[in-house]
């Protein structure tokens, strides 16, 4: 076994690998960029080496610096994590040339599976079923258009060297193909340095089910069952679970054996994931109506519905990820195995620890990805400082069994240079229903202040009819959007009561002699009233707090009028108001109180009554960058007339492209930046006139 390894990654996966290495008695070396000089993963390792600037191309993608760091520190092997260089065959080959073990598959396997078109041709020869499509090397746009027309719409354009949802566009009709192809190729060249694409039939009501496989240097292979990753936004996973709901034993065996055949075809070594698109027939119920589209090979097959299944399903090979996956913890939870330990053992030349017949599924596990983004604004990535970061199992929180994988701490900066994921919550239960309840409880105990996150959105997803009843497909979020976006589970009365209670509690702590802070004193004069002004849900609201003769409090707000009682506890404030009792946590940041309750979270802003009297609206006619990033292109020029919703510019941030649209009809007065310029959040990109 290795004595020391270098982890060529950052964030939560670097911390995750370091934890297993520490348990196994293996010393670790971290690498870090300028932006990560004080990052959690640096402190999690025994040694750390600075390798360059903040942008990945200046640090985490500079494999020659990483190899130099490994040799200088005496590391025997390099673990690439996922992302960055994890699927770069040149890096894997360079490690071998430098006398270092690459903890992953051989370069030949990475190369074989790295290009989607070539890998699908290889899988077809191995008898693995494929989705109908064009996987050729001729990239003439006219040819690609003809192939798409031949396949039939809708089609999916995918970057051949892509992954992680980048370089992927769904096209509904022929007239949209040209623009979608150009956008897809542009994102592919920026993300992967290769703009080759393939075109495939867009499967209706697809589920995304993947199989975890492992191979060793002795030629042994196993599959560690499946994960359902169907809940996605922007082609990126949001929730993952194992085992896949409704999966029959026969289907599991069929998919597992197909995945092993794929791994065997490229002489795979280490941890890998074979991803399948699963087509559900007739809304997932009833018998099959005949062969599936494209005449997939019989090994894909379909089967009648069994008790507890979702119905007839047929699967098609999508791609193989030649690395550890973000969602690997759910497989660890249901198998009781440490997949990073398996990686280290296999890379050191040991055989697989277990054979296929020794593997068992225990219970159900679900993972939620907590990301810095605004779901109500098309999942726009967010940057900022984690002013408050409370998670299950920390300090005063008492939550059912839950695992938190993260690479950040309270006070850390979420920068625009890297992926927007903050943490992963993984729960395990005896049943899916128990796991769902535990995940909702864990999310309720996750308090993040300082930037937008998707925590509350994830709770909304868990409570949808579709997810609760395992009616899963990749369109779940779109189908349930009416109950997922712009929700306000915490109403004004509770939010205002929490804000008032927090104000009074703070006053009591600072000024014990403040008469307003005393709740048990008799007053000889008339009733005393205090007025509060709030901004909540985009609307102004007033609240009146009355101090009664006997020291009790009466609060009038949002149509509610009732006594307000509260007591401060170590982990929050107990509020009794309008017939309800709630334990809330309130964090103040500037004039905004962030309220977290069991039912959800809300923000309520305290207004200065004098400063906000007669406040005017913000000026119009300006169009600004919603986040720090790079201007990719403008679709207009000065003097052009534009209509509301028309695309004006494309920005790139956090490894994704974002289209900036016109907020209203108007005329472009001036472009203030050029393509390629880096811009700060809030920078005015162009001026619109009437």
pLDDT for 291 equals 28
Across the range 122-130, mean pLDDT stands at 88
Taking the C-alpha atoms of 142, 144, 150 and 151 in order, what is their torsion angle to the nearest 10 degrees? -160
557 in the same domain as 510? yes
pLDDT of residue 268: 97
Confidence of residue 15 (pLDDT cuts 50, 70, 90): very high
| Domain identity same for 85 and 34 | yes
Identify whether the C-beta of residue 565 lies closer than 8 Å to the C-beta of residue 582: no
Q: Match 């589920």 to its residue by tokens.
A: 207
Q: What CATH number corresponds to the domain at position 650? A: 2.40.50.100
Q: Are 13 and 81 in contact (CB under 8 A)?
A: yes
For residues 568-579, average pLDDT:
92
Give the span between the Cα atoms of 414 and 89, in whole angstroms: 30
- Check: CB of residue 193 under 8 Å from CB of residue 159: no
Average per-residue pLDDT for the chain: 87
Strands of the sheet containing 133-134, edge to edge, are: 133-134, 197-201, 155-163, 166-171
Residue-range definition of the domain harbouring residue 548:
492-607
Instruction: Return the CA Rg of the chain.
Output: 27
Answer whether residue 627 is part of any domain: yes
Q: Is the pLDDT of residue 610 over 50?
A: no
If DSSP codes are grouped into helix, strand and coil, which group holds residue 431? coil
Residue holding tokens 């969602």? 327
Q: What is the pLDDT of residue 231?
A: 97
Q: Active site residue: 10, 305, 323, 438, which one?
A: 323
- Asked whether residue 115 is domain-assigned, the answer is no
pLDDT of residue 106: 97
CATH code for position 162: 3.30.1490.20
- Antiparallel, parallel or unpaired: β 592-597 and 580-589: antiparallel
SS3 content of the chain, % helix, strand, coil (to 5): 30, 35, 40
Alpha carbon separation from 318 to 26, 89, 132, 280 (Å, rounded): 36, 20, 11, 16
∠ CA 601-433-164, rounded to 5°: 70
Query: Can you tell me the distance from the alpha carbon of 593 to that of 500, in angstroms, rounded to the nearest whole number?
Result: 10
**Same-domain status, 430 and 554:** no
Could you give phi then psi for residue 220, rounded to 5 degrees?
-90, 145
Please report which confidence band the pLDDT of residue 510 belongs to, taking 50, 70 and 90 as the band edges: low
| 113 within some domain | no
Q: Give domain status of residue 665, yes or no.
A: yes
CA nearest to 490, candidates 591, 346, 602: 602
- Residue 105, burial from CB neighbour count under 10 angstroms (0-12, 13-18, 19+): buried
Closest CA to 206 of 174, 226, 232: 232
Is the same domain home to 584 and 499? yes
Q: For the packed helices 116-125 and 107-114, what is the interaxial angle rounded to 10 degrees?
A: 100
Task: Note whether residue 142 is domain-resident.
Answer: yes
Beta bridge partners of 428: 365
How sure is the predictor about 164, in pLDDT bands with cuts at 50, 70 and 90? low
Mean pLDDT of 651-676: 83
Is residue 226 in a domain?
Answer: yes
Summarize pLDDT for 430-456 with one digit per residue, the tens: 999 999 999 999 999 999 999 999 999
> CA-CA distances (angstroms) from residue 456 to 369, 462, 491?
12, 10, 14
Q: Which of 348-357, 516-525, 582-591 is the most confident on average?
A: 348-357
Alpha helices in 357-513 (DSSP H): 432-444, 455-462, 465-468, 476-479, 481-484, 492-510
How far is it, in rounded angstroms, from Cα 170 to Cα 674?
28
Q: For residues 537 and 605, give the distance between their C-alpha atoms in angstroms, rounded to a whole number.
A: 10
Residue keyed to tokens 């103040």: 588
Q: What is the DSSP letter of 187?
A: H
Q: Per-residue pLDDT averaged across 160-184, rounded?
A: 89
Alpha carbons 550 and 273: distance in angstroms, whole number: 67
Q: What is the CATH number of the domain that holds 567?
A: 3.30.700.30
158 pLDDT more than 70: yes
Does the active-site annotation cover 529?
no
pLDDT digits (tens, 9 = 90+) for 41-81: 999 999 999 999 999 999 999 999 999 999 999 999 999 99
Tell if the pTM clears 0.95, that is, is over it. no
Burial of 28 (0-12, 13-18, 19+ CB in 10 A): buried
CA atoms of 102 and 347, how far apart (whole Å): 7
pLDDT at residue 485 is higher than 70: yes
Same-domain status, 99 and 233: no
Of 140, 175, 201, which marks where a domain is finished? Answer: 201
Residue, of 359 and 685, whose pLDDT is higher: 359
**Does a structural domain hold residue 35?**
yes
Distance CA 109, CA 86 (A): 12
Question: Range with the lowest mean pLDDT among 13-27, 155-169, 418-432, 521-535?
Answer: 521-535
What pLDDT does residue 549 have?
82
pLDDT at 299: 35
* 93 close to 80: Cβ distance less than 8 angstroms: no
Mean local confidence (pLDDT), 622-631: 77
Q: Select from 303, 333, 362 the last residue of a domain.
A: 362
Write down the pLDDT at residue 386. Answer: 96
The CATH number that applies at residue 456 is 3.30.470.20
Contact 640, 666 (CB under 8 A): no
CA distance 545 to 543: 7
Domain end: 310, 344, 362, which one? 362
Task: Evaluate whether residue 616 is within a structural domain.
Answer: no
- Assess whether 663 and 554 both reside in one domain: no
Burial of 32 (0-12, 13-18, 19+ CB in 10 A): buried
Assess whether 652 and 667 both reside in one domain: yes
pLDDT of residue 690: 74
User: Strands 27-33 and 4-7, how do they pair?
Assistant: parallel
590 shares its domain with 504: yes
Do both 422 and 530 map to the same domain? no
Q: Are residues 276 and 350 in the same domain?
A: yes
Q: Which residue has the tokens 């280490």?
A: 270
Residues 189 and 222 in one domain: no
Residue that the structure tokens 């009146």 belong to? 544
Same domain membership, residue 295 and residue 223:
yes
pLDDT tens for each residue of 275-319? 999 987 654 333 333 323 333 333 344 443 333 344 567 899 989
Supply the pLDDT for residue 684.
86
Indicate the number of domains in the chain: 6
Q: Which residue has the higher pLDDT, 544 or 626?
A: 544
């Amino acid at each position: 076994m290795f004595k020391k390894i270098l982890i060529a990654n950052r964030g939560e996966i670097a911390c995750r690998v370091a934890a297993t290495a520490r348990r196994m008695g293996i010393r670790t070396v971290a690498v870090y960029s300028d932006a990560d000089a004080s990052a959690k993963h640096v402190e999690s390792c025994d040694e750390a080496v600075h390798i360059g600037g903040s942008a990945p191309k200046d640090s985490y993608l500079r494999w020659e610096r990483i190899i130099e760091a490994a040799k200088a520190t005496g590391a025997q092997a390099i673990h690439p994590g996922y992302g960055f260089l994890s699927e770069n065959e040149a890096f894997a080959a360079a490690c071998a040339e430098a006398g270092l073990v690459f903890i992953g598959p051989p370069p030949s396997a990475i190369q074989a599976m790295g290009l989607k078109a070539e890998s699908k041709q290889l899988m077809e020869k191995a008898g693995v079923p494929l989705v109908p499509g064009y996987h050729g090397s001729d990239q003439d746009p006219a040819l690609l258009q003809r192939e798409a027309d031949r396949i039939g719409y809708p089609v999916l354009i995918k970057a051949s060297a892509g992954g992680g949802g980048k370089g992927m566009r769904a096209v509904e009709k022929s007239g949209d193909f040209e623009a979608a192809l150009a956008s897809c190729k542009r994102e592919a060249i920026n993300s992967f340095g290769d703009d080759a694409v393939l075109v495939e039939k867009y499967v209706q009501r697809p589920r995304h089910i993947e199989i975890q496989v492992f191979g060793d240097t002795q030629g042994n292979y196993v599959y560690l069952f499946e994960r359902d990753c169907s809940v996605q936004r922007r082609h990126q996973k949001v929730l993952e679970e194992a085992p896949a709901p409704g999966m029959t034993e026969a289907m599991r065996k069929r998919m597992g054996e197909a995945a092993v055949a794929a791994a065997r075809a490229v002489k795979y070594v280490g941890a890998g994931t074979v991803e399948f698109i699963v087509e559900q027939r007739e809304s997932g119920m009833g018998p099959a109506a005949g062969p599936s589209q494209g005449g997939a090979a019989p090994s894909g097959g379909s089967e009648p519905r069994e008790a507890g299944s979702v119905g007839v399903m047929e699967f098609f090979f999508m791609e193989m990820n030649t690395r550890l996956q973000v969602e690997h913890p759910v497989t660890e939870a249901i198998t009781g195995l440490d997949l990073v330990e398996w990686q280290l053992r296999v890379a050191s030349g040991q055989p697989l620890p277990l054979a296929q017949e020794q593997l068992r599924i225990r219970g159900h596990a679900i993972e939620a990805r907590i990301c810095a983004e605004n779901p109500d604004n098309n999942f726009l990535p967010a940057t900022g400082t984690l002013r408050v970061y409370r998670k299950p199992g920390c300090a005063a929180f008492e939550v059912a069994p839950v695992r938190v994988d993260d690479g950040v701490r309270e006070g850390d900066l979420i920068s625009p240079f890297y992926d927007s994921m903050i943490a992963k919550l993984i729960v395990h239960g005896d049943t899916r229903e128990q796991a769902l309840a535990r995940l909702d409880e864990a999310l309720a105990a996750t308090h993040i202040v300082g930037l937008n996150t998707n925590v509350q959105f994830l709770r909304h997803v868990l409570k949808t009819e579709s997810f609760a009843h395992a009616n899963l497909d990749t369109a779940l979020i779109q189908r349930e959007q009416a109950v997922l976006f712009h929700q306000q589970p915490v109403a004004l009365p509770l939010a205002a009561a929490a804000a008032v209670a927090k104000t009074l509690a703070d006053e009591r702590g600072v000024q014990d002699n403040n008469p307003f802070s005393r709740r048990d004193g008799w007053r000889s004069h008339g009733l005393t009233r205090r007025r509060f002004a709030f901004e909540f849900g985009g609307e102004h609201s007033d609240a009146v707090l009355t101090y009664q003769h006997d020291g009790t409090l009466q609060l009038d707000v949002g149509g509610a009028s009732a006594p307000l009682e509260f007591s401060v506890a170590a982990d929050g404030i107990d509020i009794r108001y309008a017939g309800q009792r709630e334990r809330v946590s309130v964090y103040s940041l500037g004039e905004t109180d962030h309220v977290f309750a069991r039912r959800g979270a809300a923000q309520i802003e305290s207004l200065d009554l004098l400063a906000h009297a007669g406040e005017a609206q913000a000026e119009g006619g300006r169009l600004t960058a919603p986040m720090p990033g790079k201007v990719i292109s403008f679709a207009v020029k000065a003097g052009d007339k534009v209509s509301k919703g028309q695309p004006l510019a494309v920005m790139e941030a956090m490894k994704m492209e974002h289209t900036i649209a016109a907020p209203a009809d108007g005329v472009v007065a001036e472009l203030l930046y050029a393509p390629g310029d880096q811009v700060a959040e809030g920078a005015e990109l162009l001026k619109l006139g009437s």
